[in-house]
Amino acid sequence: MNVNLTEQNFRDFHDSFIRELRIHAEEVSFLVYGSFARKLNGDNNSGFQPSASDYDGVIVFSNGVILDKSPNGELSKVSTIIKELEPQMPLKISVLDWKILEDGRLNSYSADMRVALNEGILVQGKDPREGRYFVHKRGQLERLAYNLDKARRARLLAEWNSVYDKEQLKKDLERCMERATRAPRQIEWIKEKKYIGSRFEGTDLEEFEEMDTQIWKVVRYFRSHPEEFEDLFEEPEKAINLMDKLLTFHESVAEKFLERKSRMKDLVGRGIELFY
């Protein structure tokens, strides 16, 4: 619980975050939703409790599935803003891009979130609610969308964690390693119900042959040399750099999946009911 937080803390962060986005990252879209947004809208039954509520939001980057992770890229800009604002409230900000939103299959939100999103406040940019949402998805497709969102969220908060919570940075990096190396297996299951026994098998799959799978070797290495993995956190920028490479691989796999032309045929019987 956020025992020491007040409504004013939330309002101050919200105002500062909006100001910095408009100055340094005006190209991104941002929507805030949830109980705090309802409170901002004057809802006396918002359910907002500073000691228990999250700061919920959706940020959409403009440069495709593979996010720009350079120092001047959108992701780095927003991550730096969060670090410099030093927020103490729990941030629950999903990270999307317009290609995923327009396609819908890897959208981390399902149609059942539309009510909550419709109560939100569009802060800047194009409205994320204009994207495509599935009524329902399950199984590997749901996990692939979920894992990509979690990996992107981890990177969004990585710079803050590198200063204020290195233990969380370590946990997030470990999970990014798991998620990135699991993604090809999930896609093969979605596409052909083809099971890959180990996440480290499948590097020769035709689907991924032109992609850089060297990151799998890096993951293997750190699994075999845990002491060197621990050393990464003595210089957190190295840990963040590895996270960037893992996320880029994960996004590359997702992009290959989205490039497939036969969309609905691939999805019949694989966890999709309808588009919203």
Residue 91 has phi, psi (to 5 degrees) of: -95, 130
The count of domains in the chain is 2
Residues 6+ positions from 148 with CB-CB distance below 8 Å:
106, 108, 179, 183, 250, 251, 254
Give me the pLDDT at residue 253, please: 82
User: Per-residue pLDDT for 272 more than 50?
Assistant: no
Same domain, 128 and 149: no
> Would the pTM of this model clear 0.95, i.e. be above it?
no
Mean pLDDT, the chain, integer? 84
Mean pLDDT, range 57-61, rounded to an integer: 97
Mean pLDDT, range 26-38, rounded to an integer: 97
Give me the pLDDT at residue 205, please: 46
Same domain, 105 and 160: no
Residue 114: pLDDT band with limits 50, 70, 90: confident
Same domain, 41 and 93: yes
CA distance 184 to 62: 25
User: Per-residue pLDDT for 4 more than 90?
Assistant: no
Same domain, 247 and 262: yes
Same domain, 165 and 93: no
Instruction: Give the Å distances, CA to CA, from 106 to 55, 192, 222.
Output: 23, 17, 29
CATH number at residue 22: 3.30.460.10
Same domain, 71 and 202: no
| Least confident span in 13-22, 44-53, 177-186 | 177-186
User: Per-residue pLDDT for 3 more than 70?
Assistant: no
46 phi-psi bin (left φ>0, alpha ψ -120 to 50, beta other): alpha
Same domain, 2 and 96: yes
Same domain, 246 and 152: yes
Point out the domain boundary residue: 133, 151, 169. Answer: 133
| Least confident span in 44-48, 99-103, 126-130, 259-263 | 259-263
Point out the domain boundary residue: 99, 133, 167. Answer: 133
Same domain, 146 and 214: yes
Give me the pLDDT at residue 270, please: 45
pLDDT digit string (tens) for 181-204? 776 665 665 555 554 444 544 444
**At 45, is the secondary structure helix, strand, or coil?**
coil
Taking the alpha carbons of 37, 40, 43, 47 in that order, is the dihedral positive or negative?
positive
Point out the domain boundary residue: 80, 107, 133. Answer: 133
Give me the pLDDT at residue 86, please: 81
Q: HSE, CB side, 13 Å, CA atoms: give it for residue 45.
A: 0
Same domain, 124 and 224: no
Give me the pLDDT at residue 206, please: 52
Give me the pLDDT at residue 254, please: 86
Residue 247: pLDDT band with limits 50, 70, 90: very high
Residues 6+ positions from 264 with CB-CB distance below 8 Å:
272
Runs of H (alpha helix) within 165-225: 166-192, 214-224
CA distance 138 to 112: 14
User: Per-residue pLDDT for 267 more than 70?
Assistant: no
Same domain, 158 and 268: yes
Give the domain extent around 129.
Answer: 1-133
User: Per-residue pLDDT for 235 more than 80?
Assistant: yes
Mean pLDDT, range 5-27, rounded to an integer: 96
Same domain, 148 and 126: no
Give me the pLDDT at residue 214, please: 79
* b/e 37-48 (16+ beta carbons within 10 angstroms → b): bbbbeeeeebeb
Q: HSE, CB side, 13 Å, CA atoms: give it for residue 64.
A: 11
Task: Tell me which residue has tokens 């901002």.
Answer: 40
Give me the pLDDT at residue 190, please: 53
